[in-house]
Amino acid sequence: MSSSQAESISKSAAARQSLTELSEDELLLQSSVRRFAAEVVAPQVRAMDEAQQFAPGLVAQLAELGLMGIEVPEELGGAGGSFFEAILAVEALSAVDASVGLVVDIQNTLCVNSFRRWGTDAQRRQWLPKLAGGMICSYALSEAGSGSDAFAMETRAVRTNAGYRLRGRKLWISNAREAGVFLVFANLNPEAGYRGITAFLVEAGTPGLAIGRKEDKLGIRASSTCEVILEDCEIPATNLFGEEGKGYKIAIEVLNEGRIGIGAQMLGLAQGAWNHAARYAQQRKQFGKAIAEFQAVQFSLAEMATEIEAARLMVYNAARRKDAGLAFVTEAAMTKYFVSQVAERVASQCVEIFGGNGYVRDYPAEKYFRDAKIGKIYEGTSNMQLMTIAKQLLSHPVSLQER
């Protein structure tokens, strides 16, 4: 047996360990985040949703718990954890508020991972301690004309004597209002098409960078979603992120990991909706008994729980594969596609179990329903996931069972 075959078998064995049996460290993290979500986040969920912003000091508290830099090495101020631990944190927070889950998700699966994989040593030393300490990083890729077709961007970069000048408009940028640094994608060589796309770091407050219109959204309202405007924004050469012309590669590879994060967010949301539905069904009485005693409600709760368990296995499997160094692109796309559907179905059924109370804001069901819809849209729509899945399966002769 060759060394490469032995390594592959070792990785496969690591990935095949019990998906839902957590290590001591993973259990401790999960327990801590669940307690924080219940005691700190839950009492503020409704107010944050109505105010469309995070409660003052909440992000700092997330950082104190180590959740803003889970995979940041300890020597750089982070928790020194794993990707799987980041997924557990996103899931636990999203069970209470998907907006809070989102800020931890983007920070870790998109931004921290980008710095760890593509940043220079100097950039990692400069920025990772700040991110772990609570500075929010915003991922500025999408534009009005380049959503699913992400590489049709019109934002341009030109070289200057001191570095680069950026000009363009980004749209639907999560957490832009709170961000301290932006990872901006712009085309440095439009003649080369997507191969001209390059990534840059732009610090908040840089002249020429402005935060534009804040979207008034259906769900995840506490997390800001804004336009980011670049008007002859000058940055130094040291703010080049990765190599020139490799921005498309950074975006693709990091978003593959980000899809698992969105799966975790939607998984947590579905679990939270189920928890509320089950409690309400046991408390709500009709015809002289709790509605949980009616078989129709029991069947509904059972179906919801079964789908949630299937979704959890998919999320955990994709995350375990990523940590084990195994191929995970297909699994990540399948996870994003399936779990977002589960979240929408479970949240909808939660509203129905609450009945009329599920349709009013005095109860939590309607917020879970509103928050769930975005799961099928951002970081790659459901149709984009299906395209990825089909392409992966049809272009590789190795079946999923043989992976």
Domain final residue pick, 136, 152, 173? 136
What domain range includes position 19?
A: 3-136
Distances (CA, A) of 229 to 138, 146, 211, 324: 13, 15, 6, 39
* pLDDT band at residue 8 using 50, 70 and 90 as cut-offs: low
Same domain, 273 and 360: yes
pLDDT digits (tens, 9 = 90+) for 251-296: 999 999 999 999 999 999 999 999 999 999 999 999 999 999 999 9
| Residue 174 DSSP symbol | E
For residue 384, pLDDT over 80 is answered with yes
Same domain, 386 and 265: yes
Identify the CATH number of the domain in which residue 287 sits. Answer: 1.20.140.10
pLDDT digits (tens, 9 = 90+) for 160-175: 999 999 999 999 999 9
* pLDDT band at residue 398 using 50, 70 and 90 as cut-offs: low
| Residue 55 DSSP symbol | P
Same domain, 260 and 361: yes
Same domain, 396 and 261: yes
Same domain, 100 and 209: no
What pLDDT is recorded for position 7?
Answer: 59
- What does the alpha-carbon distance between residue 358 and residue 353 come to, in Å, rounded to a whole number? 7
- What does the alpha-carbon distance between residue 303 and residue 299 come to, in Å, rounded to a whole number? 6
Q: State whether the Cα torsion 15-17-20-21 is positive or negative.
A: negative
Same domain, 130 and 196: no
For residue 1, pLDDT over 90 is answered with no
Domain final residue pick, 136, 171, 198? 136
Bridge partner list, 140: 184
Tell me the whole-structure pTM to 2 decimals: 0.94
Q: Out of 21, 309, 379, 402, pick the active-site residue.
A: 379
379 classed as catalytic: yes
* pLDDT band at residue 148 using 50, 70 and 90 as cut-offs: confident
Same domain, 277 and 398: yes
Same domain, 22 and 123: yes
Same domain, 228 and 261: no
Domain final residue pick, 112, 136, 160? 136
Mean of pLDDT values over 85-110: 98
* pLDDT band at residue 152 using 50, 70 and 90 as cut-offs: confident
Query: In the chain, pLDDT over 90 holds for what percent of residues?
Result: 91
The number of folded domains in the chain is 3
Same domain, 90 and 220: no
Can you say how many angstroms the Cα of residue 13 is from the centroid of all Cα atoms in its chain?
27
